[in-house]
């Protein structure tokens, strides 16, 4: 962990729904973690959080691993910016998995432009996605050789009113048939690391949601 790391905080509500917040680490001192004002991911607005509030959360570190933790709001502090001070024992964090292995099935809108033949972009949907690449559904009349460079515009919608547009360059790997459809697998070649982290967090969120749904069955 370091200053500037983005944290996702989750709090279970009385109706068993999960409220999620996004914030960044401003300072670390011993067993205290100073964060900027958390933003409610659903509303996109900051929200007053009482002292004593408890959260579970996670973050992705520089080595591409995901860590989960539990914490409590100890106090508020107003310096150059409003901050919350969290109780935070790094020795109790749990490593979940390396993020390059997080791949989830999901249908997201995506636009594909062939850099060697910049004609009208192909608009289609993803089959699955991870921090390292994406698989998309191809129309029957489309074909790409392995090693072709493509520009992608991915619409990353998490269903909580937040939409991110990810622009990246990818390289084709292979085309396979799946349920009578062509599926093109690609790996990201040039991608902003902040965008990669958004994708990883999106994938991790989807996994958590799927696990909760399975537990409720």
CATH code at position 149: 2.40.10.220
Other CB atoms within a 10 A radius of the CB of residue 64 amount to: 18
Around 209, how many Cα atoms within 13 Å sit in the side-chain half-sphere? 15
Higher pLDDT: 99 or 77? It is: 77
Residues in the chain, overall count: 217
Q: Could you tell me if 88 and 49 lie in one domain?
A: yes
pLDDT at 119: 66
109, 174: one domain: yes
Range 58-62 contact pairs with CB under 8 angstroms and sequence separation of 24 or more: 58/7, 58/8, 58/96, 58/204, 59/1, 59/5, 59/6, 59/7, 59/8, 60/6, 60/99, 60/197, 60/200, 60/201, 61/1, 61/5, 62/2
Report whether 76 contacts 83 (CB < 8 A). Answer: yes
* 125/193 same-domain check: yes
Is 16 among the domain residues? yes
Number of domains composing the chain: 2
CATH of the domain at 50: 2.30.110.10
- Whether residue 178 is contained in a domain is answered as yes
Residue range 117-144, pLDDT digits in tens: 666 789 999 999 988 899 999 988 888 8
Asked, for residue 1, whether it belongs to a domain, the answer is: no
pLDDT at 20: 84
pLDDT in tens, 160-175: 556 788 999 999 999 9
**Residue 113, pLDDT above cutoff 60:** yes
Q: Which residue range(s) make up the domain with 191? A: 103-216
pLDDT at 140: 85
What is the rounded distance in angstroms from the CA atom of residue 100 to the CA atom of residue 210? 19
**What is the value of pTM for the model shown?**
0.60
Dihedral, 39, 192, 102, 89 alpha carbons, nearest 10: -50
Question: Residue 217: what pLDDT?
Answer: 45
Q: Across residues 140-158, what is the average pLDDT? A: 88
**Confidence band, pLDDT 50/70/90 cuts, at residue 90:** confident
94 and 21 assigned to the same domain: yes
Name residues whose C-beta falls within 8 Å of residue 145's C-beta, 6 or more positions apart in sequence: 172
Name the H helices within the chain. 193-216
pLDDT, tens only, 1-51: 788 888 989 887 777 677 888 899 999 998 999 999 999 887 888 888 999
d(CA 163, CA 153): 12
């Amino acid at each position: 962990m370091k200053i500037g790391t983005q944290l996702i905080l989750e709090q279970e509500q009385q109706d068993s729904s999960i409220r999620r917040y996004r914030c960044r680490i401003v300072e670390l001192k011993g067993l205290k973690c100073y964060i900027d004002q958390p933003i409610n991911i659903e509303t996109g607005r900051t929200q007053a959080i009482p002292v004593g509030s408890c959260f579970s959360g996670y973050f992705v570190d520089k080595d591409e691993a995901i860590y989960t933790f539990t914490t409590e709001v100890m106090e508020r502090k107003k310096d150059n910016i409003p901050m919350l001070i969290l109780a935070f024992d790094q020795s109790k964090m749990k490593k979940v998995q390396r993020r390059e292995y997080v791949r989830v099935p999901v249908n997201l809108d995506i636009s594909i432009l062939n850099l060697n033949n910049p004609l009208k972009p192909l608009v289609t949907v993803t089959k699955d996605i991870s921090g390292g690449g994406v698989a998309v559904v191809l129309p029957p009349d489309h074909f790409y050789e392995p090693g072709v460079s493509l520009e992608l515009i991915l619409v990353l919608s998490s269903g909580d009113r937040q939409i991110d547009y990810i622009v990246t360059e990818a390289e084709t790997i292979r085309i396979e048939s799946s349920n009578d459809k062509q599926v093109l697998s690609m790996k990201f070649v040039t991608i902003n690391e902040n965008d990669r982290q958004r994708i990883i967090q999106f994938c991790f969120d989807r996994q958590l949601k799927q696990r909760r749904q399975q537990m409720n069955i």
